[in-house]
Chain A
Amino acid sequence: MSQAMIGREPIPKPVGHPLIELAGVEKVYRNGKVEFPALRGVDLTIADGDMVAIVGPSGSGKSTIMNMITGIDRPTAGTVTVDGERIDRMSEEELAVWRGRRVGVVFQFFQLLPTLTALENAMLPMDFARRGTTRERRERAQHNLDLVGLAEMGDRLPSEMSGGQQQRVAIARALASYPTLVIGDEPTGNLDTTTAAEMFGLLRRVCDEGATVLYVTHDLELAARANRTITIRDGLVVDE
């Protein structure tokens, strides 16, 4: 019997129940006197438990949409609702706590802390969320490392691991807090094809066990393996 990825049994949900709702979302970045409109009024709904790929050329606004959904950036206009909560109204502190408890993020360049071991990196979100005892956090992090195939590498530093292994640790970290939403910003962009396929397999398992998975990718082959593909161009959703 395989182990559960996110540590709980999949909960049956009505198909199509919306987890994420973006309504009229606009985002303008300002750099001195220069303004750059990254999103120009995006309306988007993503169902709970879905696996969605976001594709589009460089500078189209893919990462900005991800940042809107995770509260990493705030919209210039429009609303962002996740699991019934208006996250565009939350303060930075509320967002940090919310992300720590509900969202797992996988970055293209892994973004592991170089001074923490793999196990400590995998514990980090639970440490910030003060979730459970230290022993429970450790057990949970070890469990996640087992799932991503790094059971024996918990005491390694990131500098002692390959890129693929580091990205596995990043996924283990993203799973730390039983997330309902896992976000990947080019999660396989820095990996070779074989490792990228393995990583995708892991994300698929996460989704199968009930989490909603969103990822940005340039790779159309990987995008095709999602349940749904959204294409962004010039700050607008142009195709689904």
Chain B
Amino acid sequence: MSSAILRKSLTDLTRRRARAFFTVLTLALAVASVGIFAVPGLMQQSMDREIASNKLADLTLQTEPLVLSDARLERLGALPNVEAVGAKSLFSTRIYVGARRQRAIVMGVPDFERQDVDVVTPISGSAPATGGVLTDNQNASKGKFEGPTVRVIAADGTVRPLPVRGEGRNLYGGSLAATEDFATFYASPETVAALSGTRGYTWFGLRLRDGSPAAADRTVDAVRQELRGVKGFNGFSELPELRKPGEYPGKEVFEQIASVMSAVTLLALLSALVLLSNTMTTLIGEQTSEIAAMKAIGGSRRQIAWIYRRTALLLGLLGAALGVVLGVVLANVIVAYFGTTFFGIETGMHVDAAVLGASVLVGLIGPPLAAAPAIRRASRLPVQEALQASGSAVGGQGRLDALLRRVRAPRSAQIGLRSVGRRKRRTLATAMQVGLAVATLLALLALGTSVGDITRSYYDDTHLDVWAGTFASRPFTDDARRALRSTPGVEDIQPLLMNGAKVDGKDAGLWGMVEKPWMRLRITDGRWYTAAEAARATDVAVVGSGLAAATGATVGDTITAQTAAGPARLRIVGVLWEPGQPGQLYMPLATLQRVLEAPGHVNTYWIRSESADHAFIDRLTTKLEDTLGAHGTPITTMAWYDQKADNVAQNANITRSITVLGLVIVAISMVGLVNAITTGVLERTREIGMLRCVGARARDIRRIFGTEGLVIALAGWLIGLVAGYALAYGIIELTASTANLDLTFTFPAANAAITFVGTVLLAVLVLLAPVRRAARFKPGEALRYA
């Protein structure tokens, strides 16, 4: 049999069931939000499984098409430090989906039965023989392709219908279908050769015994030596790519997103703790006379404090139990969302034990901590003062009340408005919660706007209509260049050579350009290279602001870029502000051609169309692909307007996903608002009875409590507006530094209007229940309410 003191702790929970429910719900949301910290770990677990089952390559090498015998491949596999080797022939093209053209990539897999690196797993059907393909399982789910036959445009411009033999999956191919504008197919190398008109492998993946950079460099040299005797080998067409242990495509971006999510989670936790503290203050405050009675009959401070501490612990226990389950679900839903949306993988359901433990701790420790100030106050209250506590019949004094008394409004609205000042601490805490939610949303919306602006700015700064590139860095031939220039609809073309490099261990894009490229040159320091430097192929470069920030490179420095052809030393002559770009090095075309040991090579053309009409540009890209394909140089094209829209949409998708998390805080704040008004209704039930006795109708009661709730919500919005400005600055700075992006601060007024409307609508919605409850009290019951 439990003691009366213990029993009081238990019955305090059931006395106000609605409030106990909301408190447990808030706690559960807070505990669940801790689950978000598990997201990077769970994603890593899923990816580790994918990496293991896909046998993902540690080292990736790209070349122009190379015809290798099985024996030569085996020799590559037998090189020191090489555990396994895999080769693929890749063909980038277009397919027809109805009348529409869709970018596509066809991967040639030598033997579906024997794959040791970057495995393509058939899910259904059979491994395709020559002339057939497997479609990646992401193609259908992402709306890229579906059907029994795929019509592929071959390099010569002809359309080849290929039967689909089943579905397959591959981490890289799935990620292309999920996040890029590609449909991915798997076929035999012979099928790819028939489509591309060229035989040979263009991609080599190696699994290494020792994945350290030094060992990988030695392996690259060994592979280079081995391939030197192969016809057509002129070095690697791209910088060899070394994957760190546990790394997967897109990991860095995902972890950047996760770090912003963590910041949002901390805000959610803070909001929940404020609500908890508020609830415990109310719970204890309304029992002031009971506390006095307990003291009067001999209850010690310690005993009284323990009654409420136990109640808080019980609330914590219930909240933690519900929250842990919610948290596991929430974390897995987020991982599943990002897994399918950005990586094209099925992640399954998993639990992070450490985060689970932390969630339970937050649930158990949080409530007693949040309740501590109120418990301390209650246990120290003198008996006489507590016995005379006036309960709900307080308010009306103070500066705020005097101010509120000046507001003219219908009487019922006036009563609601003045009630705001009756429980000032609770009002402030509730308004702060709403404010925190508004601030978070404003900050996340500002981040979205900033990312969108910077993306649009990047595309708008580059004045071209069509981007055309060769596949696998193959150079444009003179014949192809002439065909490109003379294609009807082309106004002008500009050559570029693009490649990848590492500077100080950071990824950098190498752009070899003409002296006056079609882009806005926003030089923030130093200068652009001169015509003389361009003509003499001087070793100079202009560093993008993103790379400059990441590496600390400044004008006058000489940096070393690790390129596909080896290290190159370049003198920095200027810094270019490049919005939203992680890092580029711009140099004269001739300089990069010399650095890459590729004299005369151009692998990209910027094309200006005779018309800015989108339909005209679409027809032009089709014509360019067909024309160049017929000239033996298959190209991939991008309509710049389309690319801009795609990129803006993709970035918006990421920021929207983070903003959705902000809704957890909104939910907590709304629970807080409901809690505050519900408590107000309960505290003032007798008052409701009196109002009904003197003629108040249901709508008058609704208006009183509705006004009070709305005023608190709007006060919260005002707080949120101010706090949101500061928070937006912080989150944009955080994103800019973690993602190494040159983001500019923005705080659009339209977002303030959106949150205003959202606050009002949500408040009206969540207040429906407590306000209806207030209006439904029968006067007799209300007057007897204790």
Residues of chain A whose beta carbon lies under 8 Å from any beta carbon of chain B? 67, 70-74, 92-93, 95-97, 99-101, 103, 105, 107, 111, 113-117, 120, 123-125, 127-129, 157-159, 173, 176-177
**Contact yes or no, A158 B696, CB < 8 A:** no
How far apart are A120's CB and chain B's nearest CB, in angstroms? 8
Q: Which interface residue of A70, A128, A159, A173 has the most chain B CB atoms within 10 A? A: A128
Q: Tell me the B381-402 residues at the A interface (CB within 8 Å).
A: 393-397, 401
Given A93-B697, A93-B698, A100-B695, residue A159 in contact with residue B690 (CB < 8 A): no
Q: Are B695 and A113 in contact (CB under 8 A)?
A: no
In the complex, number of A-B residue pairs with CB atoms less than 8 Å apart: 96
Further contacts, 8 of them, CB under 8 A, given A93-B697, A97-B697: A70-B693, A73-B779, A96-B779, A97-B695, A105-B690, A127-B412, A128-B691, A158-B396
Q: A96-B692, A129-B695 are in contact. Are A116 and B778 (CB under 8 A)?
A: no
A111 touching B778 by the CB < 8 A rule?
no
Q: A113-B415, A115-B422 are in contact. Are A128 and B698 (CB under 8 A)?
A: no
| Known A115-B395, A115-B421, A157-B397; contact A123-B411, beta-carbon cutoff 8 A | yes
17 contacts between A and B (CB under 8 A): A71-B779, A72-B780, A73-B780, A92-B779, A96-B695, A105-B690, A105-B694, A111-B686, A115-B401, A115-B418, A115-B421, A117-B405, A124-B691, A128-B696, A128-B700, A158-B396, A159-B396
Contacting B783 at CB < 8 Å: which of A72, A125, A157, A158?
A72
Q: Are B401 and A96 in contact (CB under 8 A)?
A: no
Return chain B residues, CB-CB under 8 Å to A116: 396, 414-415, 418
Residue of A nearest to B416 (CB): A115
B419 at interface, CB cutoff 8 A: yes
- Determine the distance from Cα of A97 to Cα of B696 in the docked complex, in whole angstroms: 7
State the main secondary structure of chain A at its contact with B. helix
Q: Is B346 an interface residue (CB 8 A)?
A: no
Q: Which residues of A contact B525 (CB under 8 A)?
A: none
What are the 9 closest A-B residue pairs judged by CB atoms, nearest first?
A: A100-B695, A73-B780, A115-B418, A127-B411, A128-B695, A111-B690, A157-B396, A115-B396, A125-B694
The answer to whether A159 and B394 touch across the interface, beta carbons within 8 angstroms, is yes
Query: How far is A73 from B781 in the complex, measured between Cα atoms in Å?
Result: 8
CB distance from B416 to the nearest CB of A (A): 10
Any A CB within 8 A of the CB of B687 = yes
Question: In the complex, what's the smallest C-beta–C-beta distance from B147 to chain A, in angstroms?
Answer: 64
Q: Are A72 and B779 in contact (CB under 8 A)?
A: yes
Task: Determine whether the beta carbon of A92 is less than 8 Å from that of B415.
Answer: no
Q: Which of B415, B698, B700, B779 contacts A115, CB < 8 Å? A: B415
B415-432, CB < 8 A from A: 415, 418-419, 421-422
Whole-angstrom distance between the alpha carbons of A114 and B689 in the complex? Answer: 15
Query: A72-B779, A157-B396, A158-B396 given as contacts; is B419 within 8 A of A115 (CB)?
Result: yes
| A105 and B696 alpha carbons, distance in the complex (Å) | 13
Please name all residues of chain B whose beta carbon is closer than 8 Å to the beta carbon of A173 when the two chains form the complex: 694
B686 vs chain A, min Cβ distance (A): 7
Contacts of B694 on A, CB cut-off 8 Å? Answer: 99-100, 105, 124-125, 128, 173, 176
Q: Are A114 and B696 in contact (CB under 8 A)?
A: no
- Interchain nearest-CB distance for B685 vs A (Å): 12
Instruction: Tell me the nearest residue of chain B to A68, going by C-beta.
Output: B780
| A73 CB to nearest B CB, Å | 4
Tell me the complex Cα distance, A95–B695, Å: 8
Which chain A residue lies CB-closest to B402? A157
Chain B residues closer than 8 Å to A115, beta-carbon distance: 395-396, 401, 404-405, 415, 418-419, 421-422
Report the minimal beta-carbon distance from B12 to chain A, rounded to whole angstroms.
Answer: 19
Taking a contact as CB atoms under 8 Å apart, the answer to whether A113 and B687 are in contact is yes
Task: Please give, as numbers and ranges, the residues of chain A lying within 8 Å of B692 by CB-CB distance.
Answer: 72, 92, 96, 99
A128, B697: Cβ atoms under 8 Å? yes
Nearest residue, chain B, Cβ from A96:
B697
Smallest CB gap from A107: residue in B: B690
A96 CA to B695 CA, complexed, in Å: 5
Rounded to whole angstroms, the CA-CA distance of A117 and B404 in the bound complex is 12
CB within 8 Å of A: which B694-727 residues? 694-698, 700
The residue that B695 contacts in the complex, of A101, A107, A111, with Cβ under 8 A, is A101
Collect the chain B residues with CB atoms within 8 Å of residue A93's CB: 697-698
Return the chain B residue nearest A185 by Cβ. Answer: B783
Enumerate chain A residues within 8 angstroms of B695, measured Cβ to Cβ: 96-97, 99-101, 125, 128-129, 177
Complex contacts, B401 vs chain A, CB 8 Å: 115
Write the chain A residue with the least CB distance to B411: A127
CB distance from A5 to the nearest CB of B (A): 18
B499 to chain A, nearest CB (A): 73
Write the nearest CB–CB distance from A183 to chain B, whole angstroms: 9
Q: What is the bound-complex CA distance between A116 and B778, given in angstroms?
A: 23
Residues from chain B with a CB closer than 8 A to the CB of A176 are 694
| B214 to A: closest C-beta gap in Å | 77
CA distance A42 to B405 in the complex (A): 46
Contact in complex: A111, B687 (CB < 8 Å): yes
Could you tell me the distance in whole angstroms from the C-beta of A100 to the nearest C-beta in chain B?
2
A92 in contact with B698 (CB, 8 Å): yes
A114–B693 touching, CB < 8 Å: no
A128 shortest CB reach to chain B, Å: 4
Q: Closest CB of chain B to A228's CB: distance in Å? A: 24
Residues of A within 8 A of B411 (CB): 120, 123-124, 127-128
Query: A125 vs B425: C-alpha distance in the bound complex, in angstroms?
Result: 31
CB < 8 Å neighbour of A99 from B421, B687, B693: B693
Q: Is the CB of A114 within 8 A of B700?
A: no
Interfacial chain A residues near B697, Cβ < 8 Å: 93, 96-97, 128
Closest chain-A Cβ to B488's Cβ sits at a distance in Å of 78
Q: What is the chain A residue whose CB lies nearest that of B408?
A: A134
Beta-carbon nearest neighbor of A70 in chain B? B693
CA distance A236 to B395 in the complex (A): 41
Rounded to whole Å, the gap between the CB of B39 and the closest CB of chain A is 47
